[in-house]
Structure 1
């Protein structure tokens, strides 16, 4: 009882402090990213904090998983450094004895990760997407700043709209300059506005427009006139799985499975499985020789953890592309992770001898 109580108490307090730090880091990075989107007009400034809250919920499963892994790794590493592990070994304990207190502390968190991944995160994705779109439609400044030259994220497009009307969602005297493939295109239109598609890309729609294209310094121009058209301003960056599928409830994913839905479903299931396996793997990975180097085992632990997470991303892309059947999914990856974890326990159990 003393053995379990001591470990659980230390790991609980370590986990709490670590989670606060990780959450602050993620929130800070998200604030910077969302402020950048608001400056470019891709996000209404009034929706900044609400969208950040929904985004934070999306990252909670990964934060809890990282919290568990680092907590167990840090606490057991300290036991090795302070020679307490040898005391427990001489009292009849083995490295397998640490599994029980780690599961008592960490398993409820794994259940929480599963609930967040399967149910809460898709809901947060959906609400964040709806709130973002609604705020853009209702916020004149977020859609376009009338009378101000704006630049795209890639810095290859500049646009200007005069007399923008939020009720009509359009403006007059639209100007665009596009630099692409060494050529400069200038577009002038009587009317136009900005819209965002389902993929998150921003488009400028134009009516009664004329485009002039030429090489810089060349007197020859290609002229094109059109009644209606669209020009993409910014790309959101193509995700492996479409945002609409990421925001779909898990129950709805199962009802109609294709490669994209299989990929998203396996990703949601993989997050709690990864957290559980890494939590158990942290026990043997925390081995540190007090007389040897102090960082080799930490580098090995970080390498294995990031390799596991990156492999999950690769498997998700392969499933979405149809290279791996959905029925197989990521289960071979989890099996390999379990085998590696079992091998680590067998290897570290020899230390006692």
Structure 2
């Protein structure tokens, strides 16, 4: 029992360190991309935290298997370096018994990966898409950066010279929009310029309006010499919801029971991908144990690079099988399971060789 707790603690602590580093790198990269979008005015800064939380399960379902794989390699490799394995062999420890010890932390990690892949990741992806779609459809001019032309939906491009100190009023506003009346083959362009403006939301209807003051509105039609000019003290422009809304019924956002009941190849490929990730944890545990056996003169990082290449090959073949099933090139009944069986057989072969050679 003491040995079991010691090995489990070493594996889980190493896995946590590796997972923390990988998560920091991946989330940092995604945060920089979202922050760049916020700086350009595409999304408000206030939703950055929510977007990162929604992406977290999708990151964890891929990070945890790799971190557990590397955790076993590094933890057991350190045991070989410190000759602790020699003591375990003298006490009757064998590769099969060591594998039994490894299966409990593998089961814990598989449960976490299963929660992410089967439930949390599709829910988070749906929330991310819904949040971005909601922000895109609001046409909120408050996210527009002053001093630059930006598209804010509905065929409209806006330019705002500056905001007041409290951010409630705009200065030097210019709005360009294109419209086409029903039955009219011509596309009309309108340019509205105002000295100031502000945004207003009607509480009874929830409609959003852009109120412009002290300006002019010009209307022209390409190919025609006539033009319109309107001078106003107050002009109200309704900011309708964008009509080109994205579809949120993609299989990526579907729940796992919905995928199970859907007989289409794309749905079954998505379901097999989600169900195969927890299984991948056990296969990687079987592969990692014999690969962690190193000579003390080599160092515990001697087999790290080949192990990473093996993991990349496993994941690449799995993704290729998912695409083949989804496109119909591979039968659904066959699915992605031959890839898991291939690496399961490779792990059993490595373990058998390790058992024959002993753990010396």
Distance 1:172 1:141 in 2: 11
The residue number in structure 2 matching 1:280 is: 286
Q: In the alignment, is the contact (CA less than 8 A) between 1:162 and 1:174 conserved in 2?
A: no
For residues 178-200 of structure 1, give each alpha carbon's deviation from its aligned partner in whole angstroms, at most 9, with x where no partner exists: xxxxxxxxx994389xxxxxxxx
Between 265-274 and 2-11, the greater mean CA deviation after superposition: 2-11
Q: In the alignment, is the contact (CA less than 8 A) between 2:73 and 2:291 conserved in 1?
A: yes
Residue in structure 1 matching 2:277, options 252, 257, 271: 271
Between 302-311 and 292-301, the greater mean CA deviation after superposition: 292-301
Q: In the alignment, is the contact (CA less than 8 A) between 2:12 and 2:105 conserved in 1?
A: yes
What is the Cα deviation at residue 36 of structure 1? 2.5
Q: In the alignment, is the contact (CA less than 8 A) between 2:40 and 2:144 conserved in 1?
A: no
Residue in structure 1 matching 2:351, options 345, 348, 351: 345
Distance 1:315 1:88 in 2: 40
Q: Does 1:24 align with 2:28?
A: no
Q: In the alignment, is the contact (CA less than 8 A) between 1:148 and 1:160 conserved in 2?
A: no
The residue number in structure 2 matching 1:155 is: none
Unaligned runs of 5+ in 2: 161-173, 179-186, 193-218, 224-243
- TM-score for both structures, normalised by structure 2: 0.70
Q: In the alignment, is the contact (CA less than 8 A) between 2:15 and 2:71 conserved in 1?
A: yes
What is the Cα deviation at residue 280 of structure 1? 2.1
Between 337-346 and 31-40, the greater mean CA deviation after superposition: 31-40
Distance 1:141 1:51 in 2: 21
The residue number in structure 2 matching 1:72 is: 72
Between 35-44 and 283-292, the greater mean CA deviation after superposition: 35-44
Distance 2:278 2:114 in 1: 5
For residues 305-344 of structure 1, give each alpha carbon's deviation from its aligned partner in whole angstroms, at most 9, with x where no partner exists: 1111111111122122211122221011011011110111
What is the Cα deviation at residue 273 of structure 1? 1.1
What is the Cα deviation at residue 123 of structure 1? 1.1
Residue in structure 1 matching 2:329, options 287, 307, 323: 323
The residue number in structure 1 matching 2:158 is: 161
Q: Does 1:306 align with 2:307?
A: no
For residues 229-262 of structure 1, give each alpha carbon's deviation from its aligned partner in whole angstroms, at most 9, with x where no partner exists: xxx9xxx9xxxxx982111101111222212212
Question: Between Structure 1 and Structure 2, whose CA radius of gyration is higher?
Answer: 2
Unaligned runs of 5+ in 1: 152-158, 164-170, 176-186, 193-206, 212-231, 237-241
1:318–1:243 CA distance, 2 compared to 1 (3 A): farther
Q: In the alignment, is the contact (CA less than 8 A) between 2:12 and 2:68 conserved in 1?
A: no
The residue number in structure 1 matching 2:232 is: none
The residue number in structure 2 matching 1:46 is: 46
Q: In the alignment, is the contact (CA less than 8 A) between 1:45 and 1:142 conserved in 2?
A: no
Distance 1:115 1:92 in 2: 37
Q: In the alignment, is the contact (CA less than 8 A) between 1:79 and 1:85 conserved in 2?
A: yes
For residues 280-299 of structure 1, give each alpha carbon's deviation from its aligned partner in whole angstroms, at most 9, with x where no partner exists: 21111111112347644112
For residues 73-98 of structure 1, give each alpha carbon's deviation from its aligned partner in whole angstroms, at most 9, with x where no partner exists: 11101011112212212222111221
Distance 1:94 1:24 in 2: 37
Paired residues in the alignment total 288
Distance 2:43 2:249 in 1: 16
Distance 1:37 1:314 in 2: 31
Distance 2:191 2:101 in 1: 67
Q: Does 1:173 align with 2:176?
A: yes
Distance 2:85 2:124 in 1: 43
Distance 2:191 2:80 in 1: 70
4+ runs deviating over 6 angstroms: none
Distance 2:142 2:315 in 1: 35
Q: In the alignment, is the contact (CA less than 8 A) between 1:263 and 1:320 conserved in 2?
A: yes
The residue number in structure 2 matching 1:291 is: 297
Q: Does 1:247 align with 2:253?
A: yes
Distance 2:80 2:19 in 1: 23
Q: Does 1:107 align with 2:113?
A: no
What is the Cα deviation at residue 118 of structure 1? 0.7
Distance 1:74 1:295 in 2: 7
